C-alpha cells in the first residue's frame, strides 16, 4: 500500500515553454501533497505544500507564479513549471501524506521527475 | 523551527556486517515523529522506519532498528546483516504532530563493500 506515482519520469523542454508534472496517490487518499526539488548530491528542498481544494502554501523564496500547483482531488496534484529556463533544470519529487487512524502522518514519495530545460 | 543533523556524509560497511548511521535533531515540540528514508540510485525515496516520540520503545523493521534517545535528541539507525541492496543515501527527517512538513538532514551515503 501507499504507492505514489509521478509522470513523466523524465522531460526535456525548450526554454520558455511550460511543463506539467503529475503526482498521484494510487491506493490511498492524500489529504496533503508536497513538492520538493533536489539538486545533485543534496537533500530535498520543500517547495510547497498543497491541500485538496485549497491554494498551495509556498516556502520562502519559491516563486508561486513560476511553480503553479493544483490539487484538484484527493489523489492528484500537479506542478506546472511556467516559462521554464535552464536554471529550473532539476529533479522534482512529490510526496503524499495519509492520515492514518490515531492521527499519525507519514509521507510517501513518488519516483521523481527529471526536468531538463534546454 | 526544527533542525536535523547528520554528521556522517559517507559511511561504508562490509557486507553482512552491522552499521549505525547517526542523526541528531532539535525541536521545541513535545509531540513529533522521526523518520529514516532511503534513496537508492533510482532516486526513489523509500520509508525505512518511523518512530513516534511519545513511544519509548525503539522501532524495528526487520534488519533495521533505531536507537531513540529522546533526552539527547538522538535518533540513530542500525542496519544489521548489511546487504548490497542497502547501498543508498539515507536521510533522517522529523515532523511535528499535526504538521506533516518534514525537515530533512543532509544525508549519509552508505556504501556496502562486497
User: B26: part of which helix (H) or strand (E)?
Assistant: strand B24-26
Q: Which of A43, A97, A112 sits opposite B104 (nearest CB)?
A: A43
Residue A33 corresponds to which cell in the numbers above?
501533497
Mean pLDDT of A38-65: 91
**Phi/psi of residue A88, nearest 5 degrees:** -85, -10
- Of A23-32, B41-50, B69-78, B83-92, the poorest mean pLDDT is in A23-32
Confidence of residue A1 (pLDDT cuts 50, 70, 90): low
CB spacing of B43 vs A106 below 8 angstroms: no
E-assigned strand segments in B40-107:
46-52, 60-61, 64-69, 74-79, 88-96, 99-104
Query: HEC profile for chain A?
Result: CCCEEEECCEEEECCCCCEEEEEEECCCCCCEEEEEEECCCCCEEEEEEEECCCCCEECCCCCCCCEEEEEEECCEEEEEECCCCHHHCEEEEEEEEEECCCCCEEEEECCCEEEEEC
List of chain B residues whose C-beta atoms are within 8 Å of the C-beta of residue A46: 101-102
Whether residue A97 and residue B43 make contact (CB cut-off 8 A), yes or no, is no
Mean pLDDT of B43-71: 94
pLDDT tens string A103-115: 457 889 999 999 9
Q: Quick one: pLDDT at residue A78?
A: 95
pLDDT in tens, A28-38: 888 889 999 99
pLDDT value of residue B68? 97
Nearest to B91 among A43, A95, A103 (CB): A43
**Which pLDDT score, from 0 to 100, does residue A104 have?**
53
pLDDT grade for A54, boundaries at 50, 70 and 90? confident
pLDDT of residue A101: 45
Q: What is the pLDDT of residues A75-101, one digit of tens each?
A: 999 999 999 999 999 999 999 987 654
Residue A41 pLDDT? 86
Percent of chain B with pLDDT over 70: 100
Name which of A87, A57, A51, A91 is nearest A72 in CA terms: A51
* Residue-averaged pLDDT of chain A: 90
- Please give the helix or strand (H or E) that residue B35 lies within, else none: strand B32-39
| Separation of alpha carbons B76 and B63, rounded Å | 14
Task: State whether residue B84 is helix, strand or coil.
Answer: helix
Amino acid at each position: 500500500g501507499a504507492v505514489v506515482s509521478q509522470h513523466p519520469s523524465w522531460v526535456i523542454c525548450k526554454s520558455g515553454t511550460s511543463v506539467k508534472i503529475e503526482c498521484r496517490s494510487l491506493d490511498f487518499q492524500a489529504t496533503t501533497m508536497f513538492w520538493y526539488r533536489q539538486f545533485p548530491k543534496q537533500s530535498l528542498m520543500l517547495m510547497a505544500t498543497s491541500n485538496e481544494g485549497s491554494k498551495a502554501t509556498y516556502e520562502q523564496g519559491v516563486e508561486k507564479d513560476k511553480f503553479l500547483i493544483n490539487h484538484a482531488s484527493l489523489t492528484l496534484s500537479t506542478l506546472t513549471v511556467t516559462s521554464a529556463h535552464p536554471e529550473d533544470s532539476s529533479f522534482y519529487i512529490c510526496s503524499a501524506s495519509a492520515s492514518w487512524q490515531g492521527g499519525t502522518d507519514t509521507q510517501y514519495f513518488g519516483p521523481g521527475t527529471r526536468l531538463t530545460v534546454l | 523551527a526544527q533542525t536535523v543533523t547528520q554528521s556522517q556524509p559517507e559511511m561504508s560497511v562490509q557486507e553482512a556486517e552491522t552499521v549505525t548511521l547517526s542523526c541528531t535533531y532539535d525541536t521545541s515540540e513535545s509531540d513529533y515523529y522521526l523518520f529514516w528514508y532511503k534513496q537508492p540510485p533510482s532516486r526513489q525515496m523509500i520509508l525505512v522506519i518511523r518512530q513516534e516520540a511519545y513511544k519509548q520503545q525503539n522501532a524495528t523493521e526487520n534488519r533495521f532498528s533505531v536507537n531513540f534517545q529522546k533526552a539527547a535528541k538522538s535518533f540513530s539507525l542500525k542496519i544489521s546483516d548489511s546487504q548490497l541492496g542497502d547501498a543508498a543515501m539515507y536521510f533522517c527527517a522529523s515532523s511535528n504532530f499535526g504538521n506533516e512538513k518534514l525537515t530533512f538532514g543532509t544525508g549519509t551515503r552508505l556504501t556496502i563493500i562486497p
